[in-house]
Each structure stands twice: as C-alpha cells, then as structure tokens.
Amino acid sequence: MNSAISVSAQAVSRVSPFNVYTAGIKELGDRLTKGSITCREIVDIYLQQIKRHNGQLRALIHMMPEQQLVQLAAELDEERAEGKLRGPLHGIPIVLKDNIATDVELGMPTTAGSFALIGMPVKGDALLVQKLREAGAIIIGKANLSELASYKTLSAQGWSAVGGQTINVYAAHASPGSSSAGNGVAVAAGFCPASVGTDTDGSLLLPSFKAALYTLKPSAGLISQAGIVPFAPYFDSAGPMAKDVYDLAILLDVMSGQNENEEKESGAGSNAAAPKYVDSIANPSFEGYKIGVPREQWHDAHLWLRTGKSRVGEELAEAFEAAIMTMRSRGAVVTDPADIASAVDGTLWKCAEGARIKVVCADFKEYVGRYLRGLGGEGGCRSVEDIIAFNEEHADIELPPEHPDQEVLKWTKRAISVDSDEYLAAKREMQEVAGTNGLDAVFDQYDLDAIFSLAESGQHSAANMVGYPLGAVPLGITKDGVPFGAMFIGRKYSERTLLGIMSAWEATFGPRPLPPIANDSDSGRM
C-alpha cells in the first residue's frame, strides 16, 4: 500500500469550509469559483480524512504521492487565477478503481488488487483518465476492489490480496458490495466527492446501494474501455459513483466517447454533438415519465414482489412499495405489473446460467490475455493460466486461509473460443432472451421510459446481457444500519432519460443517509 495512505493523521487546526460527507463536485466548484477555497486546500482536507479513516476502512489501495498531489493542486490553482478554467472538474479530486490504468507518472500502479500484476506497468492512462485529467480532475487515489473485479473468486467481495478487506462504512458487519466496493466506501467516507468504478454485472450498483450513493452504468460502448483491465468486454463499462445526480451527469459528459478503433468496431459515431447530460437534470420532476414494475421475477428469493413473502425483508418491501406510490403521486405514469415475458417463462434464468456464463468466461480468457501481453516489464504473467499458476506459487499472499479460492479463474480452463460458433450463438441467445423477448418487449408493450426494481430482483443481469443502462438510487437504511437502494433500467442510450428520472428521485426523496463516522467530533467539518 502506498505510504501516503498509512501516514498517521495530523491534527487539523482550522474548521473545514465544507462537509466531506455531503460535498459534491458542484459545491466544491462553486466554492472554487467564489474564491472561498483553493484546490490546494481541498486536497489537504481530503488527505486528512483519508489518513484518519483509510487504515480501518481500506477503501483506497494506492495514492498519488503527497508532494505530487500538492504540486498539481497548486498548478491548477495558478491556472484558475490566470483565467484558464478547464471546466467543472477543474481542481476536483476523483478516485478511480484500481483496474483503470493510470500513467506511471502519477505514481500509482494498476494492479486490479493482484500481486500478479505488480511490476507490469501500463503504457499510459486509460482513455477515460486522459479525459478526466484534461478536464482538470485530480486523480487523488485508486480504490480497492474484489480482486480482478470478482473474476478470481465470488466469495471475497471487497477483498484483494494487495488491498485487503474493504469495510462497509455504515455497518462493519455488512458486505461493502461487489467489486467496486472501495469506490463506494471512498465516496461515502468523505475521501472524495465522486469516483469512477467499473461494472460487468452489478459492480457499480451493489456497492452504491451499500453506501447510499447514486450511480449510472452507461450503455455498452458509451465510455471507452481502452486501458481498463477487462473482465468481459461484451458486458463491461466504467461509470461514475457519487452523492448526487449532478455529479453523475458531469462525469458522463467528460468521460463519454470511444477511441477510433472502438468506434469502428461498434459502429458508434462521435458523441461530441449530443446535448450535455447535465442539461437533462435541469427540471427534476416525475411528471410524465412512464415507469414499469416487473412483479414476476426470475430470482426465487423475491416472491415478495407478487406475494409479499420473501427473504428480502419487510423494510425493503415497504420502502419499495412506498416509493412506487410516491412516484405515482408526483406525476409518474406507473404500469404495475409490467412483467418481463422471458422472466415469467424461465428462459431468462436459463440464459443467465448458460449463455451468459459462456460469454463471460470466453471474454475473460481472451481479452485479459491480450491486456497482459500489452503490459510492460520483463517476464510476468501474460495469460490467465499464468495468473492461476502465480497464485498457487504465492499462496501465502494470494490464497490465504480466509480466502483460499480462485474458482472463477479456473472456469476459464473450460472456456470456449471467442471465434467459435458456440460463442456467437450464446451472444445471439442473450440478445433474443434478454432483449427481444425480454426488456425490449416490455418497453414496447407498455411504452415505458424505465423499469423500476430492487437490486435483489436480479433484473440488472438482464440489462447487462444486452448492454442497457442502469441507474441506482438510495432507497433507505435498515434498522441495523445497512443502506439499500433501487434501480432503474433504460433502453439503450437512454442515459438522459434515466438521469432525468434519478434527479426527480433525488428532489423527491431528499438527502441520503450519512455514515456513523459523520457524527464523530473530529470528522466531517474537520
């Protein structure tokens, strides 16, 4: 772990001008514009918060060296003083998941939480990082994650060999969520105003639910994957995690766009002429939005959606039903039920357990191999098989007694080829079952703008199988202190519609709950 994280906190002699647990990009930007604070001061405040709490929470795995951070902040302050404003991210600290490449000049490796990737430097920033840095963002640190974005084992959420176990900042006994766990905890714990994680099948949504945050997984291809350690490119996307919807929109505006090779492969054109995402949240209201509620789920733990009986719990069920009533009372046109045919007949579940797994395993083996072979350094791991062997040879650090498995990595031994007819057939099956006979059918039948559900319903997997966008919103907090949330699924490239709905949610349901450490006398307004 970078030494900048482990330095013990020094006493802060003055009161911070902002609350680290609630401040977002807009508030910090407004303060910078008014001159009531400098970028250097913002960085100092976040550094103190990180030093105070990261030793316990293990949200961050690497930090930019402190002297370098201070120098960069001073340079951005000087640019602002000279009238050279880069945009709303100018001087704003951002945390990245540690599977997103950062140039070696930033002083942080890109390891995906695995010792197997240490000593194998990336060749530069990921494209989305280039965009963030050009916009004036400061990459203050990199977040811990489920090792290899959960592709090592499914039994260690928020744990990596390099970073250790990330702790839920709301309730230490609870899971911090899926593979972007460190991102969620970093934002909720006041280490940064917002972060950028990645998602294959729930890795943005689940940590956001557990940290009472907003997130948006964009449509497949909206944000470049160049320079991100791949899991399954057919499903993968980077996305923002934040305390409010404005920050999601600003980060999407900056990060959207592919490189030339990706545009040729996907057939997508430039997004430069499209309206800004931030414009979609100017008038937050549910009025006129058409929202569907699937009641017949393909996950048997959620019979409560139709019968009221479930392992989910009364608190989640009551909050979910109350939210539906509130949206309807505020002008939303709610279709309830709006069942997904392929969920009702069981084919969605079969596809998820069959075709989806085939594509994920094939993608991981192929594209991780390509990624590893493109890294620098001498020797090192250049294939998935090399990583498996490395872990076995270094079992004391990679396969400790509390996390001895790498069963997901070993699935790739049975992986089909991405050039095989079986692979292409599996992708067609997902498109038919999750798309044509699934989400597309229910969107068209009821003329919906979005589908509303809980994470526990498993509906996010249907969206991920066809690359549709998902937005997560805070819904409540249980009696034992664990936050939970709800999600909206949109049609492909309907991010502006989802952001509009999510901004209406934020305006209607009020402030998100803060973690217990926000009540500490020496936290928050330090």
Hey, which residues are catalytic here?
A: 97, 179, 203
Q: Which of 12, 10, 15 is nearest to 37 (CA)?
A: 15
194-199, strands of its sheet edge to edge: 60-63, 138-143, 93-97, 194-199, 237-242, 214-217, 470-477, 483-490, 450-454, 290-292, 333-335
Going by C-beta distance under 8 Å and a sequence separation of 6 or more, which residues neighbour residue 102? 96, 108, 110, 122, 125, 126, 129, 139, 142
Give the phi and the psi of residue 167 in degrees, each rounded to 5: -105, 135
Give the phi and the psi of residue 139 in degrees, each rounded to 5: -80, 90
Distances (CA, A) of 400 to 112, 160, 384: 18, 11, 20
Q: Which of 476, 513, 514, 512 is nearest to 189 (CA)?
A: 514
CA separation for the pair 280, 497 (Å, rounded): 7
Contact between 212 and 226 under an 8 Å Cβ cutoff? The reply is: no
For the beta carbon of residue 516, count every other beta carbon within 10 angstroms: 13
Round to the nearest angstrom and report the end-to-end CA distance of the chain: 25
CA separation for the pair 127, 142 (Å, rounded): 16
Q: What is the largest CA-CA distance in the chain?
A: 66
Distances (CA, A) of 387 to 151, 200, 359, 462: 11, 20, 20, 30
CA separation for the pair 317, 156 (Å, rounded): 27
Contact between 217 and 205 under an 8 Å Cβ cutoff? The reply is: yes
CA separation for the pair 358, 377 (Å, rounded): 32
